[in-house]
Amino acid sequence: MSVAFPASPSSVPSGPPVLSAPFALPPADRSAVVARLRAAGCVFAEDEAALLISAASDPAGLDLMVERRADGRPLEHVVGWAEFRGRRYTVDPGVFVPRRRTELLVRQAVELAPSGTPVVVDLCCGSGALGAALAAALDGGAELYAADIDPAAVRCARRNVVDADGTVYEGDLFEPLPAELRGRVDVLLANVPYVPTEEIGLLPPEARIHEARVALDGGADGLDIQRRVAEEAPRWLAPGGHVLIEASERQVPGAVEAFARHGLRTEVVTCDELYATVVVGTLPTEPHRDRPGEAGPARP
């Protein structure tokens, strides 16, 4: 991963096959929709047109959706959902859109989660898709908690974690979580903001304009929030528990150093297909036998 900011959610959400529109749209009108999207710079104009047509309830609704997409709004905000790990999750306007590359973070969490019903916390949860997807992937489900500082994200996440019986709190990182979770968390998902402040202006308009800045801005080097998570995580993790963050390639040394400073053993996992990098910190079960901060090998 060679950039330090999330890629634009420019690909068309997949997921279950879309249904035909509940109204008849002449071929000429369908072509006009494609042409309008293509003129607005939509690379996948044909696919996006098909999705918007299927999602609209009537021609007027379609016109409004096409107008919003042509105006630069993320496709996920226009249709109201994003596909993540084969499931659809509600994404309200202004809420951070879960990226496909973040599936690596959830994939690693599935591998690391203990059997039974692990305690899972999803920090900076945004739409809540990560925690909900992890709970859905585990045979025994999860005791799921999530938190975000953005009220709009909290409202959205509460709808997405219903099936997992999850609880969503509003507040800054660990602050709103119940104190009884200290020392009990088996898996801590922390897809925190990691865009360096000066690079916010380089983001695609879909993210820069239409997603909350608080979900993007990671401070001068992009690692401010990650350092705070690394400092607090050992107090919340169960022995042998894991904290997982997403980072850019160039941020990995700083993220590993932050975990190591607070006694977490680290591993770096990369995936060329998803163009993703995840740093995993593990709280030793027997600290006197482990060397805090020793980094494990990177895995493909």
Predicted model pTM: 0.86
Write down the pLDDT at residue 206: 86
Residue 95 CA from chain centroid, whole number: 11
The more confidently predicted of residues 143 and 29 is 143
Lowest mean pLDDT, pick from 35-49, 199-213, 283-297:
283-297
Write down the pLDDT at residue 230: 97
Among the listed residues 147, 144, 101, 102, the one whose alpha carbon sits nearest the alpha carbon of residue 124: 147
Write down the pLDDT at residue 3: 28
Angle between the N-to-C axes of helices 224-236 and 252-261, in degrees from 0 to 180, rounded to the nearest 10: 30
Write down the pLDDT at residue 49: 94
Band the pLDDT of 1: cuts 50, 70, 90: very low
Indicate whether 268 pLDDT > 70. yes
Band the pLDDT of 25: cuts 50, 70, 90: confident
Region 139-159: mean pLDDT is 97
Hey, what's the torsion of the CAs at 270, 286, 114, 16, to 10 degrees?
Answer: -20
Lowest mean pLDDT, pick from 38-52, 146-160, 211-225, 280-294:
280-294
